[in-house]
Structure 1
């Protein structure tokens, strides 16, 4: 079982404007593992994080990201682990500044980029590519290139979906309601250390 999620982070203290734009509201229900339809939290570094189920979630639609980025720098990620697809985008002042996409269906080393990528990209790409080579390249059982877009996003926001998030400004994320409909978790809660 793998993740199929999308997440956004906006660097702003104006959280209410994010909620109004997306037509969502925080609830008092906690969602420790981001298993609800929509959950989120402020981060200690000034970003606000929202995680939605489904890698094509409305959170990562271009028109939404354009509007959100008017409130502050915005990062968006889509993750579909069932086919090893990952993407990261950075938006600012209404426009997309860079994109990095990995789609294993196009090859283990597939990585499509555009825009003005962070300075760290070249060294990150070289390091991870070397690690993929050492694992057996195209024939490896692992897909390390998948992490490159997600690591770029994590450098900015401090969040990566499959790692413990110590940057949360509160103990746990909370469930968000959309258009008055509760979005509680439907999967069985499990301790973080259990893989099943």
Structure 2
């Protein structure tokens, strides 16, 4: 079982503006456990996040909005396949990405662009944990967490933490304003 999700976050963009730009409306219904198909939250650090319980949803989304934006982070993970990925964009242009696919290799890590400086510490720490795991029982995939921790290092958000800096995000159910239309994705 496990998580099969994707999420999209924009820096310094309020939740209402993000939802409007991406064609969603806020129902006002709380979704504390992110059980709805889509939910959204505004973090105290200025990031707005849309959570989808559809692993592939993020692959159809564009980070190019009709107005200038700062950073955007897209993250997806599938614990059944042990696949995780994070993509970073600035003003709608993908600048970097990092993915792990255990189906290809337990130590797989695909990199594009100049990753945030936090990457080296995260990679080195989790590869060391993986090495120790491989020497004993090799039941845990620590490499899977590298893209997730990189996304967290930029946004402060991690999908499996209830609190962020002592605050619990207020997730609300969001719905598309109309039938979702296929957009040109920023993913390669």
Question: TM-score, with normalisation over the residues of structure 1?
Answer: 0.83
Displacement of 1:17 after TM fit? 3.2
Distance 2:137 2:45 in 1: 39
Structure 1 runs not aligned, ≥5 long: 182-196
Distance 2:67 2:132 in 1: 39
Displacement of 1:22 after TM fit? 1.4
Aligned to 2:155: 157
Kept in 1, the 8 Å contact 2:15–2:40? The answer is no
Displacement of 1:102 after TM fit? 0.3
Structure 2 runs not aligned, ≥5 long: 180-188
Distance 2:166 2:178 in 1: 25
Matches within 5 A, 1:1-196: 1-57=1-57, 59-61=58-60, 64-67=62-65, 70-136=68-134, 140-167=138-165, 172-179=170-177
Change (3 A) 1:148 1:170: closer
Kept in 2, the 8 Å contact 1:30–1:174? The answer is yes
Displacement of 1:170 after TM fit? 6.6
Kept in 2, the 8 Å contact 1:41–1:170? The answer is no
Kept in 2, the 8 Å contact 1:129–1:145? The answer is yes
Displacement of 1:125 after TM fit? 0.8
Distance 1:71 1:42 in 2: 16
Kept in 2, the 8 Å contact 1:5–1:53? The answer is yes
- Stretches of 4+ moved more than 3 A in 1? 13-17, 59-62, 167-171
Kept in 1, the 8 Å contact 2:118–2:153? The answer is no
Question: TM-score, with normalisation over the residues of structure 2?
Answer: 0.86
**What do the CA deviations read for 1:85-134 (whole angstroms, capped 9, x no partner)?**
00001100221111000000011100001101111212211111010010
Change (3 A) 1:124 1:166: closer
* RMSD of aligned alpha carbons: 2.3
Distance 2:70 2:166 in 1: 19
Displacement of 1:42 after TM fit? 0.2
| Number of equivalences | 179
Kept in 1, the 8 Å contact 2:14–2:47? The answer is no
Change (3 A) 1:134 1:52: same
